[in-house]
């Protein structure tokens, strides 16, 4: 057995023993080519995607990983519908009112907001097969994370590739993750943010508090998983009627 075959075997075993990934239910394909690990397929939710990638990254012992793992959306949508939903979210978000915003399609670029020289930053979005790609520049890590979550919230979104550049550069840390999480929870109309507390250690977010439904508890956890830099989420929110 070659070294690559040993690594692949270890990754498959780890995924099969992780109940949140549900490897027997989800079709996850892994391969190594020219020193790069490719993870491909479709999983149930954002938690399964992040956990599968983290486990693969921890075991592969390589610097290069190609992420082609997508989410099975609750509702299948065409790329145009996904693009329209992300556009609406970005245009209506107060944090991006001074941002120029463009939407790219195969044949054209649509200027959604053109502020000229007054634009503080800019965001361009593109959707291909349900995968939203964000490019441009933003003023902070919180803005970058917020834009990513807004894209994830779009019905039909299967993945988000967040290539937004933060200008000026900022050092990332757990405090930045918690700041963005608080912002996202407060913006989520389906979650009572004032009933949730959170802490983070090396990208592992722990949620505390009390909510009234199991569904709201799941939504709060998903919001945490959507954030860039989150490696794991421990959900200790209790459900109380």
Is 70 exceeded by the pLDDT of residue 63? no
The size of the chain, in residues, is 241
Is residue 207 within 8 Å of 177, Cβ to Cβ? Answer: no
pLDDT for res 98: 94
Tell me the Cα Rg of the chain.
19
Determine the average pLDDT of the residues in 129-143.
97
Cα separation, 179 vs 176, whole angstroms: 5
**End-to-end alpha-carbon separation of the chain, Å?**
55
What confidence category does residue 122 fall into, taking pLDDT thresholds of 50, 70 and 90? Answer: very high
Helix, strand or coil, per DSSP, at residue 38: strand
pLDDT for res 74: 87
String of DSSP letters for 4-19: HHHHHHHHHHHHHT-T
User: Burial of 109 by CB count in 10 Å (0-12 exposed, 13-18 middle, 19+ buried)?
Assistant: exposed
Q: What is the pLDDT of residues 30-46, one digit of tens each?
A: 999 888 899 999 999 99
Cα separation, 205 vs 141, whole angstroms: 17
Cα separation, 120 vs 193, whole angstroms: 29
Determine the average pLDDT of the residues in 189-208.
97
Selection from 148, 164, 162, 150 nearest residue 93 by Cα: 150
Domains for the chain: give ranges and CATH numbers.
Answer: 3-71 (3.30.1340), 79-166 (no CATH), 174-239 (3.30.1340)
């Amino acid at each position: 057995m070659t070294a690559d075959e040993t690594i692949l075997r270890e990754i498959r075993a780890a995924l099969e023993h992780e109940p949140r990934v549900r490897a027997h239910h989800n079709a996850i394909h892994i391969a190594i080519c020219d020193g790069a690990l490719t993870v491909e397929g479709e999983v149930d939710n954002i938690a399964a995607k992040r956990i599968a990638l983290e486990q693969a990254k921890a075991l592969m012992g390589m610097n290069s990983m190609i992420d082609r793992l997508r989410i099975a959306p609750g509702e299948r949508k065409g790329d145009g519908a996904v693009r329209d939903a992300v556009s609406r979210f970005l245009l209506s978000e107060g944090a991006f009112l001074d941002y120029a915003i463009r939407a790219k399609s195969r044949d054209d670029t649509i200027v959604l907001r053109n502020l000229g020289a007054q634009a503080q930053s800019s965001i361009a979005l593109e959707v291909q097969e349900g995968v939203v790609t964000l490019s441009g520049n933003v003023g902070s890590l919180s803005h970058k994370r917020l834009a990513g979550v807004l894209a994830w919230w779009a019905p039909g979104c299967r993945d988000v590739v967040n290539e937004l550049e933060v200008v000026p550069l900022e050092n990332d840390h757990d405090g930045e993750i918690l700041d963005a999480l608080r912002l996202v929870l407060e913006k989520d109309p389906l979650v009572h943010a004032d009933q949730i507390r959170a802490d983070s250690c090396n990208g592992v977010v722990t949620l505390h508090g009390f909510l009234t439904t199991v569904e709201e508890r799941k939504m709060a956890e998903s919001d945490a998983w959507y954030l860039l830099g989150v490696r794991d989420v421990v959900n200790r929110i209790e459900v109380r009627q």
